[in-house]
Structure 1
Amino acid sequence: MGSNNNRETTFYKEVLPFTAMVTMECINVGLNTLYKAATNKGMSNHVFVVYSHCLAALLLLPSPFFSARSRILPPLNCSIFAKIFLLGVIGCTSQIMGKIGIIYASPTLASAISNLVPAFTFVLAVIFRMEKIQLKRSTTRAKVLGTVVSIAGAFVVTIYKGPKILVPTTSTPNLLRQHQPLSSSQSNWMLGGLFLTTEYFLVPMWYIVQTWIMKVYPAEVTVVFFYNLTVSILAGIVGFLSEPDSNKWIIKPDIALASILCSGILGSSLYNTIHIWALRVKGPVYVGMFKPLSIAIAVAMGVIFLGDTLYLGSILGATIIAIGFYTVMWGKAKEMPEYNDSSDLESSPDQKFPLLHNFKNEDISNK
């Protein structure tokens, strides 16, 4: 009987989280690849952002009214709505920047640059005096070094393409390779890297605002609902100004519709639920360790489904960013024992900024 319980515990604590995290990284990269394929077929990135967030808001619509937790929380007031609106502005901007970046570059570059999030979070935490630079401590030196290395890797992957390492075969589906003049230009590749870097610089700012909201209204699903609703409205205003052609807003039952549905359902619902569960079971360090895996998945999917060419610069830059990523994560992991409980990080006496605690909310709105 005891051995059965041990096997169940091992499966729940080890096998299931590992399988779930690998699957979620595949889904995340798959959503980016599907989006890239849809834009190759002519879908507008503004239309995508509006429709995908509208779908996510509709899926989460019952949460403010039927959540048992929402009935014991303070009522939503103007201050909370103002913070959610600010969250929506940051999220909408980062979404648009990221989607444009993928159009100009590739899902592979997006996966590589996404690993800058811990480094940018640390930079902003220092700027907002939520983290203190104490170079005498090995953990602080690791975070500083990891940040510098990560940013250097971003420069490499953005500026240097280098020789071709892997060229897709002619058997790559033509359906997904149409309308790709942007991917062949070095200047467009750099522009895409700039957009993606901007996106992942905004993500830590999104974390900070979300932390403010959670302190006064700790109902994640309800906040995410209003966040998606806000992004839908803001992106709709920007979209109607940027895409006045009404034909662009008519989605046919093709790859564009599939991309929107998958992003709304898998990205904003399943992906976030699994991540929150994995964070509870294994902790933020474990979840963060899987992020660089997305680079390898993105390379494979890009070559197979999009006909992307793999360049030496992408490999070198992604490797440097991954080294910096793990260095920052190591520094924060070593500091974790200083906190008794992850839920009390914001209230610790020295007011340190919980990088990994915030890192757990990554992509909660399909960021």
Structure 2
Amino acid sequence: MEKLDLRVQSSLAKSIGTMVSIAGALTVTLYKGPALVSMSSSSNLHNELRSPQKNWIIGGLVLAAGSFFLSLLYIVQTSIIREYPEELMATFICCVFVTIQSTVVALIAERNPNSWRLKPDTELIAIGCSAFFAVALRSLAHTWACHKKGPVYVSMYKPLGIVFAIIMGVTLLGDTLYLGSVVGATIVAFGFYSVIWGQSEEEKMIDDKDIDSLKSSSPKAPLLQTKSIFCRN
């Protein structure tokens, strides 16, 4: 697991980078600023998606709780995968339990039987793509990355997803690009780089310690002794 030691430069860089990334994500969410690139087609979509302020507050609290439990999941997943290094089996078990929980919640939330009918159209394709890419493939990639790099490395890509969401929203959906989004995305990028740099420095320190321990533990025969053995042979 991760060790926090602010006296070490790499650990300090990871701590500062994490706080900077959180600040960047909050900047994107809370600060809008003037519009830099305005798309006329996005106004109708924003009017359709507009909801009361109460729903936005509840949604923000639910997303914050989801991020907290997702961080706990990464920590538990890393502990399990180091004891049982089988990424495919761990991903399969996780997907099975996610399916069971989602089914129970969906049956409680949606009681109209007509909503459960699947038709061979775009909705079925969207469900299949979500099941393969958003659940199975993503869970497998997260499990493998937790096994190789640890939970902090995987969690740091979540704020970076905001940057990609902004870019794809502007280019594909025609969203308006605001100054707050650009500033927040830049802050997130700097924080992400700081954490990745600290992670790489810690890995170098661990590798150097392993090399030093191997050198100190390897038996060293005297030069005259090895030379005499060579002459006898």
Q: Would the TM-score normalized by the shorter structure come out above 0.5?
A: yes
1:158 aligns to 2:19 (yes or no): no
Question: Which residue does the alignment assign to 1:245?
Answer: 112
Q: Which amino acid letter does the alignment assign opposite residue 150 of structure 1?
A: S
Q: Which amino acid letter does the alignment assign opposite residue 238 of structure 1?
A: V
Question: Which residue does the alignment assign to 2:173?
Answer: 306
TM (norm. structure 2) is: 0.68
Instruction: Show the 5 A alignment for 1:180-195.
Output: 180-182=48-50, 194-195=61-62
1:234 aligns to 2:101 (yes or no): yes
CA distance, structure 1, for counterparts of residue 188 and residue 26 of structure 2: 10
Larger radius of gyration between Structure 1 and Structure 2: 2
- 1:144, 1:328 within 8 Å by CA — same for their partners in 2? yes
CA-to-partner distance for each residue in 1:304-341, whole Å, 9 max, x for gaps? 44342222222212221221121112111100023349
Structure 1 residue 231 displacement after superposition: 0.5
Instruction: Show the 5 A alignment for 1:251-330.
Output: 251-269=118-136, 294-295=161-162, 297-330=164-197
1:219–1:321 CA distance, 2 compared to 1 (3 A): same
Residue 36 of structure 2 aligns to a residue in which SS? Answer: strand
Q: Which amino acid letter does the alignment assign opposite residue 235 of structure 1?
A: S
Residue 308 of structure 1 aligns to a residue in which SS? Answer: coil
Structure 2 unaligned runs (5+)? 209-233
- 1:167, 1:310 within 8 Å by CA — same for their partners in 2? yes
Q: Which amino acid letter does the alignment assign opposite residue 159 of structure 1?
A: L
CA distance, structure 2, for counterparts of residue 260 and residue 240 of structure 1: 17
- 1:158, 1:190 within 8 Å by CA — same for their partners in 2? no
Question: Which residue does the alignment assign to 2:214?
Answer: none
- 1:158, 1:189 within 8 Å by CA — same for their partners in 2? no
CA distance, structure 2, for counterparts of residue 302 and residue 312 of structure 1: 15
Query: What percent identity do the matched residue pairs reach?
Result: 43
TM (norm. structure 1) is: 0.46
Structure 1 residue 193 displacement after superposition: 5.1
CA-to-partner distance for each residue in 1:253-294, whole Å, 9 max, x for gaps? 4433222111222344556677889999xx859x97987775
CA distance, structure 1, for counterparts of residue 206 and residue 94 of structure 2: 30
Question: Which residue does the alignment assign to 1:133?
Answer: 4
CA-to-partner distance for each residue in 1:4-57, whole Å, 9 max, x for gaps? xxxxxxxxxxxxxxxxxxxxxxxxxxxxxxxxxxxxxxxxxxxxxxxxxxxxxx
Structure 1 residue 155 displacement after superposition: 2.0
1:221 aligns to 2:88 (yes or no): yes
- 1:158, 1:194 within 8 Å by CA — same for their partners in 2? no
CA distance, structure 2, for counterparts of residue 276 and residue 132 of structure 1: 21
Q: Which amino acid letter does the alignment assign opposite residue 179 of structure 2?
A: L
1:325–1:224 CA distance, 2 compared to 1 (3 A): same
- 1:164, 1:311 within 8 Å by CA — same for their partners in 2? yes
Moved more, 147-156 or 303-312: 303-312
- 1:161, 1:186 within 8 Å by CA — same for their partners in 2? no
Higher RCO, 1 or 2 (CA under 8 Å, sep at least 6)? 2
- 1:146, 1:325 within 8 Å by CA — same for their partners in 2? yes
- 2:91, 2:143 within 8 Å by CA — same for their partners in 1? no
CA distance, structure 2, for counterparts of residue 153 and residue 191 of structure 1: 22
CA distance, structure 1, for counterparts of residue 32 and residue 164 of structure 2: 19
Structure 1 residue 241 displacement after superposition: 0.9
CA-to-partner distance for each residue in 1:141-173, whole Å, 9 max, x for gaps? 212211221222222122112222222244x8x
Question: Which residue does the alignment assign to 1:332?
Answer: 199
CA distance, structure 1, for counterparts of residue 91 and residue 85 of structure 2: 11
Instruction: Show the 5 A alignment for 1:193-204.
Output: 194-204=61-71
CA distance, structure 2, for counterparts of residue 279 and residue 314 of structure 1: 29
Residue 134 of structure 1 aligns to a residue in which SS? Answer: coil
Structure 1 unaligned runs (5+)? 1-129, 342-367
CA distance, structure 2, for counterparts of residue 152 and residue 259 of structure 1: 33
Q: How many residues align?
A: 205
How large is the RMSD of aligned CA atoms in angstroms? 3.9
Question: Which residue does the alignment assign to 2:78?
Answer: 211
1:332–1:274 CA distance, 2 compared to 1 (3 A): closer
